[in-house]
């Protein structure tokens, strides 16, 4: 820096080598150099009062602060500094981040749109109904209806189911109807009923129950009616039948046990015809036929 200019700043002046100061008409010193060029010098400041420095000048002994350095742009073609490189990198990263944010937003919007339109398309596909095709009308020729003649049907009683077995019904209870026929062995001391079926073992009684009983006068076996039944005698060797028994009036109180003997027994609602077919030492064999008798 020029010494004269420094003197102006500090309020002092230094003589320039080769120049002699002079004063102009105003009393200001004029500095001239060896080349003959003169320049005015700064006016001499008045002596300040101690403790009251001149405005704009620092107190004595305190240096005046220097101006901050101005940024200097690098010359054209010079390589970038580290600070400039970091600034450019930050700017580039910021731009990339904003670009990615925009891309993510666009992708999110597209995904939402695809989901919405996709579901709508599926629902629309499910609920869509096919359009009806053209209606084809076929006209049939008039049919001739012939009314068949009326058929009169007579209700019939359904027959028995062949797969279901039913017990055999007894014949109708009219006079002369056979209710049963069987052979039975009977010995002394027992009595039996003469019903539609052959007497069972439990029906042989020793207390006088049934229709036909036994006796043994003079140690000879005979048959007697019991419990109010009546006995009719038939000719020896004859075969009993309902008409012979119903028309017979030869009542008897007993019948012999010899083979070939025949008799009838009138019971309550029934008629029995008995023929002795054989005799054994302990019993005889009776052939029995039972008819209905309501007279």
> What pLDDT was estimated at residue 194?
97
Q: Which residue has the higher pLDDT, 10 or 227?
A: 227
> What pLDDT was estimated at residue 175?
84
DSSP 206-240: SSS-SSEEEE-GGG--EEEE-TT-EEEE--TTPPP
Mean pLDDT (the chain, rounded): 74
Q: How far apart are CA 217 and CA 214, in angstroms?
A: 10
> What pLDDT was estimated at residue 111?
85
Which pTM was predicted? 0.43
Query: What tens digit of pLDDT does each residue of 209-232 get?
Result: 999 999 999 999 999 999 999 999
Q: Under the phi-then-psi rule, with left for phi > 0, alpha for psi from -120 to 50, and beta for the rest, what region is 11? A: left
Query: What tens digit of pLDDT does each residue of 24-76 get?
Result: 555 555 444 444 444 555 455 455 555 555 555 556 666 665 665 565 555 66
> What pLDDT was estimated at residue 157?
53
Residue 145 has pLDDT above 90, yes or no: no
Q: How far apart are CA 264 and CA 246, in angstroms?
A: 9
Residue 93 has pLDDT above 80, yes or no: yes
Give the rounded percent of residues in the chain with a pLDDT score beyond 90: 38
What residue spans define the domains of the chain?
Answer: 3-40, 178-292
């Amino acid at each position: 820096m020029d010494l004269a200019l420094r003197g102006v700043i500090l309020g002092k002046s230094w003589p320039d080598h080769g120049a002699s100061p002079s004063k102009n008409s105003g009393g200001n010193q004029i500095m001239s150099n060896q080349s003959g060029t003169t320049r005015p010098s700064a006016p001499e400041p008045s002596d300040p009062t101690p403790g009251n420095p001149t405005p704009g000048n620092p107190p004595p002994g305190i240096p005046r602060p220097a101006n901050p350095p101005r940024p200097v742009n690098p010359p054209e073609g010079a390589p970038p500094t580290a600070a400039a490189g970091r600034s450019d990198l930050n700017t580039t990263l910021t731009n990339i981040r904003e670009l990615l944010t925009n891309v993510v937003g666009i992708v999110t919007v597209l995904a939402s749109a695809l989901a919405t339109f996709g579901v709508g398309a599926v629902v629309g596909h499910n609920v869509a109904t096919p359009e009806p095709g053209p209606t084809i009308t076929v006209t049939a020729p008039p049919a001739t209806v012939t009314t068949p003649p009326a058929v009169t049907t007579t209700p019939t009683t359904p027959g028995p189911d062949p797969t279901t077995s039913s017990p055999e019904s007894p014949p109708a209870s009219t006079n002369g109807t056979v209710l049963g026929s069987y052979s039975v062995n009977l010995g002394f001391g027992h009595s039996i009923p003469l019903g539609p079926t052959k007497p069972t073992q439990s029906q042989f009684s020793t207390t006088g129950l049934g229709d036909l009983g036994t006796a043994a006068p003079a140690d000879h076996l005979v048959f007697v009616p019991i419990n109010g039944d009546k006995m009719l005698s038939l000719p020896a060797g004859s075969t009993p039948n309902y008409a012979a028994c119903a028309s017979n009036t030869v009542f008897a109180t007993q019948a012999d046990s010899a083979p070939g003997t025949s008799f009838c027994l009138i019971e309550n609602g029934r008629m029995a015809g008995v023929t002795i077919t054989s005799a054994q030492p302990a019993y005889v064999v009776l052939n029995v036929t039972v008819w209905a008798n309501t007279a």
